[in-house]
Amino acid sequence: MTTTIAPFEDIASWERALYAFLAEKERRSGSRRTVEGYSRMLQHFFGALGKPPDQITSREVFAYAHGVGPSGKEPSAVTIGARMACVSSFYRFLIRMEIVSSNPCDQLERPKVSPSPPRGLSAKEIKRLLAVIPEKPAGLRDRAIVLTLTLTGRRRSEVMNLKADDISQTGGLLYTYRGKGGKQAKRELPRPAFEAIERALAAWGKSLATMDQHESLWPTDDPDRSAAGLGVTSGTFYGNLRRYFRKAGLPPAGVHILRHSAAKLRRDVGESVEDVSRFLDHSSLAVTTVYLRRLEGQEDRSWARVAEAIGV
């Protein structure tokens, strides 16, 4: 990544600060996609102004956040908010590192956004989705990913980053994942997801017993990634999922809808809101009910009913 923040004497120190900020952001969020988005926005912002961070004014941040983008369209409230959040997050990092003393975003008012209500798929819609995924190696892999997302309720990065040694069959069928903030937790792996993973790996000539412990659970036909022990990219899976949605006659959606679906299906089979919140690791609940959460090897009492509902 080439960074050109501003043509001034101590540019190297600002570059190091930016790299450190992005590295921390990736470690805490677990999402390479988020980091790439932040990198693009910050490079565009500072590159266009040609000024170092300690010389930026609130007015300049406002002009950037509300400015017309490459599409030529006025930015939406969501875009404005995202731009402000990105710049503000970088400045908070610089303040913590004692590089700057103030955040120019503090004087700006964030736009009010009315988020659309989350939408989850019903059990019948999940069945339709699974029915159109081809019985080929790539399809079996994608099916295993869909089932793992739906039955565990984990975020996309938490599932896509799973490796062979994240699955344990000692003392129960468990999987280890790395959540937001880099926190590691362990939970029961629903049997249908495990069986789908084993079947997919077998289609690629692999097995958990013989794989390298750091090898991805999700094989790819990209020779370079495969040789490095890496799996299918999140972008490739997303593209495949969109095609499956179209083939199943379902509205277009992103991978996150499977997390919403996991919550919806849990409620449909009788789980309480509190149980679903704990299942999803919602941070708002974690703050107030840490003592109720036992993530290490936590038993999952509802996946069987959800699996029955979606026919797996």
For the chain, domains (ranges, CATH) are 11-107 (1.10.150.130), 123-310 (1.10.443.10)
Mean pLDDT, the chain, integer: 84
Instruction: Evaluate if residue 36 carries a pLDDT over 60.
Output: yes
Instruction: Evaluate if residue 294 carries a pLDDT over 80.
Output: no
Instruction: Evaluate if residue 241 carries a pLDDT over 50.
Output: yes
Q: How far apart are CA 19 and CA 39, in angstroms?
A: 9
Q: What is the per-residue pLDDT for 288?
A: 26
pTM above 0.85, yes or no: no
Nearest 5°: phi and psi at 237?
-60, -40
Instruction: Evaluate if residue 167 carries a pLDDT over 80.
Output: yes
Q: pLDDT-derived band of residue 189, with 50, 70 and 90 as boundaries?
A: very high
Element at 188 (helix H, strand E): strand 184-188
Which pLDDT tens digit goes with each residue over 2-33?
Answer: 334 434 345 567 888 888 999 888 877 667 77
Give CA separation, 85 vs 37, 77, 235, 257, in Å: 12, 12, 24, 24
Q: What is the per-residue pLDDT for 132?
A: 98
Which pLDDT tens digit goes with each residue over 97-140?
Answer: 888 899 999 999 888 766 555 678 999 999 999 999 999 999 99
The encoded tokens of residue 86 equal 């990105």
Q: pLDDT-derived band of residue 175, with 50, 70 and 90 as boundaries?
A: very high
Instruction: Evaluate if residue 292 carries a pLDDT over 60.
Output: no
Instruction: Evaluate if residue 59 carries a pLDDT over 90.
Output: yes
Q: How far apart are CA 279 and CA 155, in angstroms?
A: 12
User: Which residues have a catalytic role annotated?
Assistant: 155, 180, 256, 259, 282, 291
Q: How far apart are CA 141 and CA 125, in angstroms?
A: 19
Rounding to the nearest 10 degrees, give the CA dihedral for residues 236, 237, 240, 246: -130
Q: What is the per-residue pLDDT for 10?
A: 57
